[in-house]
Chain A
Amino acid sequence: MALLGLILFNIINGIAVLVLISIGLAVIYGMMRIINLAHGEFLMLGAYATVLSTNAGVNLWVSILIVSPIVVGLFGLLVERCIIRFLYGRLIDTMLATWGLSLFMIGGITTLFGTTVEGVSAPLGAFNIGPYHASLYSVFSIAVAAAMLGGVWSVLRFTKFGLIVRATMQNPPMAAALGVAPNRIYMLTFALGAALTGLAGGVLAPVAGVAPGMGAAYIAKAFITVIGGGAAIVTGSGLASALFGTIDQIVTFQTTPVIGQVALLIAAIIMIRILPQGITGRFFRRSL
């Protein structure tokens, strides 16, 4: 029974990790149709921000929750102003540019900080599920993932900014005609997506191997989750994360991590074949 509880906890945690790594990408891709190939490096930058500022004496929680999103958000703003804004409507060029950006970021971080950096260990310790130990920090990351989903949803649903963003997304010329500056909205959306990714990187930092090339391990999963989710940003990523995370964790526990990963990927392929528009292309169509 306790073991079942532990497995259940792991499944929820696996889902939370998928939500963390994909929500920023979902915002940027879902709103702006920009395939950000530097997404993994945004995560890496967030992790570095947390690690470096913690090592410099900043409180760990401040580093994760405040420093990381601000640093990466500002970086995203800079990237949008210097690169992305020249490339709107040119999907392919943005891919090329963000690929270049990802190489640049890996190279830049390596040059500045070397290939290794002393990481921070997870705070909070453990709690017991029957005779088993589970990480309290995982509870924290689950909470952050939930808060991110809820936050993005509330912003889109309840704020004026959200309304404008949704309108711009749906019909940019019409929004412009009504007095909205689409370019400003895009800029803010990109920065928001970057900040969310930075926060995710910060949350992952204490439980990941922080290194310049760490983004590569996450990027494929993030893309599959976002595209699997379909048009609705919050509901889509949430549902896709739940589906893929559950499959991955259950299969991994029953067999091996290789089969777990392959099962996740095959599930994604089959799902896209059945639901070519992603989960929210068929169900929950009016969701956000």
Chain B
Amino acid sequence: MSPLFTGRAGFALVIAAGVIVTIALPLIDGMFGLVQATVFIAMAVLALSLGFIWGFGGIMCFGQSAFFGLGGYAYAIAAIDFGGSSWAVLLAIAVPAAFAAMLGYFMFYGRISDAYMGVITLTVAVILYNVMNSTSGSQYHIGAAELGGFNGMPSVPPINLPGDPSAALSPLQFFILSMILLMAVYTGLRLLLASRFGRVLVAIRENETRAMLLGYDPRFYKLVAFAIGGGIAGLSGCLFTNWGGFISPTAFSLAQSAQIIIFVLLGGIGTLLGPIMGAVAIEYLITLTGTQHRFDANLILGVILLGFVLLVPQGVVPAIAAQLARVIPARRRAGASSQTVTAP
């Protein structure tokens, strides 16, 4: 991993960029720009969740959309039943985190290997998709919230100021909140990775047997990381549901799961900044392809992805970092990389 974005200076740079975006975007772009940026942010949070568990925990999860969808549904159900949004947001994080912990216990303590883990998580997402799809009709409800089957749950109440359900956030406020949450998740993960826990986690990713012989229980560390990833994905689902006022089973779909993987791969695995950039870039591209009418949208996306893999195989952020690193004196780099085991 190139050291450019590691270290305190790099971190400060990323956060500064985030703050600038938060302040500048509302000034230069209209309401639509903000609303659109908000969904990109929600996807960036989602990409971070997988970027963390995959890039640093070495956990291949092909069904991250399961936690994303659970978060979205938990928020929608709680917001409709409780009126206010504070509990709903907490539940949107807690429910997927708990579910991830359960699933993680089942997998890690069963000592299931990588590829099989991928298949299990994918299967779980497919099951949730099938089950949610078959909940149409008024007999399927939790409290006052009807699950709605394939049609999904429309008109979900938006986030409000704590304690006052009538004070719903405006699109501008919601954009700022989303940016703050994205930066908070990013910061939290960096701190976590710089901590003892993070170092052990990376050590396990590098060599599970060696870590085990040194007295660490890989199963426990992976389980905790997986649950944290589930919670973050749930938060993303909560943001997404708020953004559109809507959640449907497509949140669990195979296409959604695959998209998350692509965010991470394109941005660069083993980084935290990469998945964020990957998510924004892909979402932007997909949006763009629907506004042109000359070529099939899938065709364009496919060509771009293929081009990227062949030309920029290590992901965008590491590639840029490597380019920049050439310019920066080697001595500084050596100093920076020895400071920490974390990547951006």
The answer to whether A and B touch directly, with their CB atoms under 8 angstroms apart, is: yes
Q: Does A277 contact B (CB under 8 A)?
A: yes
Q: Chain B residues near A278 (CB, 8 Å)? A: 116
A99 touches B310 (CB 8 A): no
Report the separation of the CA atoms of residues A96 and B302 in the bound assembly, to the nearest whole angstrom: 10
Q: Chain A residues near B254 (CB, 8 Å)? A: 216, 219-220
A99 touches B262 (CB 8 A): yes
Flag the segment in A6-14, A48-56, A104-112 that touches B. Answer: A104-112
Nearest B residue to A212 via CB reads: B298
Q: How far is the CB of B172 from chain A (nearest CB, A)?
A: 35
Q: Does A102 contact B (CB under 8 A)?
A: yes
Q: Chain B residues near A108 (CB, 8 Å)? A: 296, 299, 302
The tally of residues in A whose CB lies under 8 Å from a CB in B reads 42
B111 touches A269 (CB 8 A): no
Q: Does B300 contact A (CB under 8 A)?
A: yes
Contact with B along A229-261 (1 / 0, CB 8 A): 000000000000000000000000000001001
Q: Chain A residues near B126 (CB, 8 Å)? A: 220, 265
Q: Does A268 contact B (CB under 8 A)?
A: yes
A96 touches B262 (CB 8 A): yes
Q: How far is the CB of A35 from chain B (nearest CB, A)?
A: 8
Within 8 A of B (CB), among A73-117: 83, 86-87, 90, 92-93, 95-97, 99-108, 110-111
Contact with A along B91-132 (1 / 0, CB 8 A): 000000000000000110011110110011011101100110
Q: Does B15 contact A (CB under 8 A)?
A: no
Q: How far is the CB of A162 from chain B (nearest CB, A)?
A: 24
Q: Does B195 contact A (CB under 8 A)?
A: no
Q: How far is the CB of A279 from chain B (nearest CB, A)?
A: 12
Report the separation of the CA atoms of residues A224 and B266 in the bound assembly, to the nearest whole angstrom: 26
A111 touches B131 (CB 8 A): no
A86 touching B310 in the complex, CB below 8 Å, given contacts A37-B258, A216-B254, A269-B120: yes
Q: Does B167 contact A (CB under 8 A)?
A: no
Report the separation of the CA atoms of residues A220 and B253 in the bound assembly, to the nearest whole angstrom: 11
Report the separation of the CA atoms of residues A106 and B258 in the bound assembly, to the nearest whole angstrom: 15
The tally of residues in B whose CB lies under 8 Å from a CB in A reads 42
Q: Does A227 contact B (CB under 8 A)?
A: yes
Report the separation of the CA atoms of residues A216 and B116 in the bound assembly, to the nearest whole angstrom: 20
Q: Chain B residues near A83 (CB, 8 Å)? A: 306, 309-310
Q: Which of A95, A103, A268 contacts B302 (CB 8 A)?
A: A103
Q: Does B319 contact A (CB under 8 A)?
A: no
A276 touches B266 (CB 8 A): no
Report the separation of the CA atoms of residues A277 and B302 in the bound assembly, to the nearest whole angstrom: 33
Q: Does B305 contact A (CB under 8 A)?
A: yes
Nearest B residue to A278 via CB reads: B116
Report the separation of the CA atoms of residues A55 and B89 in the bound assembly, to the nearest whole angstrom: 56
Interface residues of A (CB under 8 A from B): 35, 37, 83, 86-87, 90, 92-93, 95-97, 99-108, 110-111, 216, 219-220, 223-224, 227-228, 258, 261-262, 265-266, 268-269, 272-273, 276-278
- 17 sample A-B contacts, Cβ–Cβ < 8 Å, listed by A number: A96-B261, A96-B305, A97-B306, A99-B305, A103-B302, A104-B299, A107-B299, A220-B126, A223-B119, A223-B122, A224-B119, A268-B123, A272-B112, A273-B106, A273-B120, A276-B111, A276-B116
